[in-house]
Structure 1
Amino acid sequence: MEMNWIALLVSAVSTLLIGFVWYHPKVFGTVWMKETGLTPEELAKGNMLKIFGLTYVFSVMITFMVMSLSVHQSGALGMIGGSTKINEALPSFTAFMNDYGTAFRTYKHGALHGFITGLFFAFPVIAINGLFERKSWKYIFIHAGYWIVTLTIMGCIICGWV
């Protein structure tokens, strides 16, 4: 199983594209600004190249985690010591990969794992931080919703783009 770098890089772009829509003033942007206490003028002062550039770098990092959660064949590779050990693997590994190497490699399966990751990992992390920071539930649900949708799309792209 080879890593699909294009799928990972495109999936990382999805965080920005979904964010442009999600945090747009006509969607959740106005409510989000109110909940954070930010104004459009304050937001305009930020270094957008730095913010979007680092967001993309962090998003690429996230794609590796989403891939390991949604593409089950990476677990099979881990059992033999990684992709560098394929030539040393027993014939049973080759037979297993021939039979199941593309099992559950669909957009739908990736979306399921992305959604579960968002709901059971991102949401609790955001909620815990929000509670300690004394943020409102609106704030928590806006951010958690963004990550649930984003991780669902990321899983969809990574797992389905075979």
Structure 2
Amino acid sequence: MTPNFLIIFLAALIPMVTGFIWYNPNVLGKAWMKAADISEDKMKGANMAVVFGVSFLLSFILAFSMQFIVIHQWAIYSIFASEADHTAMMDPNSELSIYVKD
């Protein structure tokens, strides 16, 4: 399976956008800074390019690996197979085959 890097790139942006909203001072950012004992001066001293770069890299790795973890539709018929040789799906008139076709 060839990875679709455009979709992976867009999927990697989802945690970034969620974090931008979540940690916004008008949403939950002030409460997070208070709970984590972080001041605005300390935030300004951080190298944000490195922080966002590493965050995006980890989001990209997560999105890339998720395609192999969650795409398992090819095995759906093995759930319904009643015998070890999967003959239940080979009979087009079986109740299972008719159900799957509908």
Q: For residue 156 of structure 1, what is the aligned residue in structure 2? A: none
Q: What does 1:53-64 align with in structure 2 at a 5 Å threshold?
A: 53-64=53-64
Aligned residue pair count: 75
Describe the superposition over 1:22-79 as per-residue Cα deviations: whole angstroms up to 9, x where unpaired.
1111111111101100011111110011111111111111112322232225x77xxx
1:13 aligns with 2:13: yes
User: Match of 2:33, as an amino acid?
Assistant: M
Q: For residue 52 of structure 1, what is the aligned residue in structure 2? A: 52
Q: For residue 65 of structure 1, what is the aligned residue in structure 2? A: 65
- CA distance in 1 between counterparts of 2:64 and 2:53 reads 18
User: Match of 1:11, as an amino acid?
Assistant: A
Please list every run of 5 or more consecutive structure 2 residues that lacks an aligned counterpart in the other structure.
Answer: 76-102
Superposition RMSD in Å: 1.8
- Give the TM-score, by structure 2 length: 0.65
- CA distance in 1 between counterparts of 2:72 and 2:46 reads 40
User: Match of 1:36, as an amino acid?
Assistant: A
Task: Give % identity.
Answer: 29
- Give the TM-score, by structure 1 length: 0.42
Q: What does 1:17-28 align with in structure 2 at a 5 Å threshold?
A: 17-28=17-28
